[in-house]
Amino acid sequence: MRYYGILFVLGFTGALSAKPAIFERTLLLMGSRFDLTVVAEGADAGARYLEEAVLEIQRIERLISSWDVNSQTSAINQAAGVHPVKVDPELFALIQRTVGLSRLTDGAFDITYASMDRLWRYDGSMKALPSAEDIQESVARVGFQKMVLDAAEMTVFLPTTGMKIGFGAIGKGYAADRARSKLQTMGVSAGIINASGDLTAWGQQPDGTDWLVAITNPLNKAKAFAWLPVDGRAVVTSGNYEKFVRFNGTRYAHIIDPRTGYPSTGLISVTIFAPKAELADALATAVFVMGVRTGIDFINQLPAVDVVIVDEANKVHTSEGINLQTTVQHD
Ligand code: ADP
Ligand code: MG
Which positions ≥6 away from 59 have C-beta within 8 Å?
none
φ and ψ of 262, to 5 deg: -105, 145
CA of 267 from ligand 1 middle (Å) equals 14
CA of 171 from ligand 2 middle (Å) equals 8
CA of 323 from ligand 2 middle (Å) equals 23
| Nearest listed ligand to the Cα of residue 7 | 1
Average pLDDT, the chain: 89
How many angstroms separate the CA atoms of 87 and 153, rounded? 9
72-157: which CATH number, 1.10.150.120, 1.10.357.140, 1.10.3980.10, 2.60.40.10? Answer: 1.10.3980.10
Residue whose CA lies nearest to ligand 1 atom number 10:
169
- Total-model pTM: 0.90
pLDDT above 70 (res 7):
no
| Domain definitions of the chain by residue range | 72-157
CA of 206 from ligand 2 middle (Å) equals 30
**Residue 198 alpha carbon, nearest atom of ligand 1:** 4
| Alpha helix stretches (DSSP H) within the chain | 43-64, 72-78, 89-104, 132-141, 171-185, 277-290, 292-300
Best of 2, 236, 254 to mutate for ligand 1, by most ligand atoms within 8 A of CB? 254
Asked if residue 200 lies in contact with residue 192, where contact means CB atoms within 8 angstroms, the answer is yes
- 217 versus 194: the higher-pLDDT residue is 194
Which positions ≥6 away from 15 have C-beta within 8 Å?
21
> What is the reported pLDDT for 213?
82
pLDDT above 50 (res 6):
no
Buried b (16+ CB within 10 A) or exposed e, 137-176: ebbebbbbeebeeeeeebbbbbeeeebbbbbbbbbbbbbb
Residue whose CA lies nearest to ligand 1 atom number 5:
169
Pocket of ligand 1 (CB under 6 A): 109-110, 113, 166, 168-169, 238-240, 254-256, 258, 281, 284-285, 289
pLDDT in tens, 40-99: 999 999 999 999 999 999 999 999 998 899 999 999 999 999 999 999 999 999 999 999
CA of 281 from ligand 1 middle (Å) equals 9
Which positions ≥6 away from 44 have C-beta within 8 Å?
none
Q: Give the pLDDT band of residue 215 (cuts 50, 70, 90).
A: confident
Name the region of 81 (left: φ>0; alpha: ψ -120 to 50; beta: rest): left
